[in-house]
């Protein structure tokens, strides 16, 4: 198990009082929890992954996500079981949309 942590500048978005959970931890998939964070202009991400050695890939995928979505003010927790970058991007967008009440 590898643990990764990142912080990205991102445009502030809607900040509901309730967290949002998306996905299922399983082979080739992941679970994402989006909740309110402490820094309004940043997206903080904590990852637990079974796939070691992909920190650079995670950083690129998450950086693109933070740059293209209003994810500022969030903390995102990811439990990964080998999801591909495309699945990660899809689940991130779904979780943020749910968190923001479908505003994405």
pLDDT in tens, 10-49: 999 887 879 999 988 877 789 999 999 999 999 999 999 9
Question: Quick one: pLDDT at residue 25?
Answer: 84
- In eight-state DSSP terms, residue 101 is T
pTM, full prediction: 0.91
Question: Quick one: pLDDT at residue 102?
Answer: 62
Separation CA 77–CA 63 (nearest Å):
15
What is the domain partition of the chain in residue ranges? 2-99
What rounded mean pLDDT belongs to the chain? 92
The per-residue pLDDT for range 75-90, each reduced to its tens digit, is 999 999 999 999 999 9
The residue to which tokens 């643990």 are assigned = 3
- In the predicted model, what is the mean pLDDT of residues 38-67? 95
């Amino acid at each position: 198990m590898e643990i990764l942590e990142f912080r990205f500048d991102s445009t502030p978005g809607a900040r509901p009082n309730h967290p949002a959970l998306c996905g299922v931890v399983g082979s080739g998939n992941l679970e994402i929890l989006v909740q309110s964070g402490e820094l309004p202009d940043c997206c903080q991400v904590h990852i637990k992954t079974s796939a070691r050695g992909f920190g650079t890939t995670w950083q690129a995928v998450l950086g693109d996500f933070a740059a293209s979505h209003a994810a500022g003010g969030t903390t995102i927790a990811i439990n990964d079981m080998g999801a591909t970058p495309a699945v990660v991007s899809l689940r991130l967008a779904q979780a943020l949309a749910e968190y923001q009440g479908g505003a994405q």
